[in-house]
Amino acid sequence: MPPKDPHRQMEKLRKQVLGCRECPLHQQRNMAVFGEGPYESQIMVIGEGPGAKEDELGRPFVGRAGRLLDEMLEEQDLSRDRNVFIANIVKCRPPKNRVPHKKEIETCFPYLEEQISLVDPSFMILLGATAMKAYWGSLKEKVGDVRGRWITEGHRHIMPTYHPAAVFRNRSYRQYIEEDLKTIAGKYRELVGG
Ligand code: URA
């Protein structure tokens, strides 16, 4: 068998996601949001799902929370242009930005699993409770209880932190996210260099 080509597989997956009709969320979407960033990124950021701006443009984290995320990543010399792949738990916008339902998450999750397997990042950042709970199944802890802590799965270092949108409700969360991103960037440079 010829060796697998992650780029080709990712492009195939992207097409699949853009045309997906597996759950009712596709009915109201303008665009499915696949994710973006270099496919060989060693860091993957996982959010909840597209909002209005993301749905309009077909790109993840391009609204207010996205600008804040970009700013905080850039403080650590990280960005979706260079070294971070950004994806979401669900690829289509839930109406009125509600939290995605369990069934929608379950239906969409295999796309994220394949993205994780193709990008194969050494670091994963889970933004907020939905990403955290969806990734680990049911989880009783709150983000505040586990943020900033490493969870190691095989060669992968995973850290939950607050969702950047939480900063608009409580400004003090910004410093926690910044602290966590600093920790992640430090370990990333230690292990991967760059
Ligand atoms: N919030 C998310 O969780 N994901 C996005 O893509 C945008 C906002």
Give residue 152 CA to ligand 1 midpoint distance, Å. Answer: 24
pLDDT score, position 140 = 83
By most ligand atoms within 8 Å of CB, the mutation choice from 17, 61, 64 for ligand 1 is 61
pTM given for the model: 0.96
State residue 88 phi and psi, 5-degree precision: -130, 160
Q: Which CATH number covers residue 25? A: 3.40.470.10
Q: What is the domain count for the chain?
A: 1
- Does the residue 160 lie in any domain? yes
Give the residue carrying structure tokens 């207010």. 64
Q: What is the pLDDT of residues 48-84, one digit of tens each?
A: 999 999 999 999 999 999 999 999 999 999 999 999 9
pLDDT in tens, 101-139: 999 999 999 999 999 999 999 999 999 999 999 999 867
Instruction: Domain of residue 16: give its range.
Output: 6-192
Please give the Cα distance from 115 to 108 (Å, whole number): 12
SS3 141: coil
Q: Select from 48, 98, 127, 135 the residue to mutate for testing ligand 1; criterion: most ligand atoms less than 8 Å from CB.
A: 48
Confirm whether 1 is domain-assigned.
no
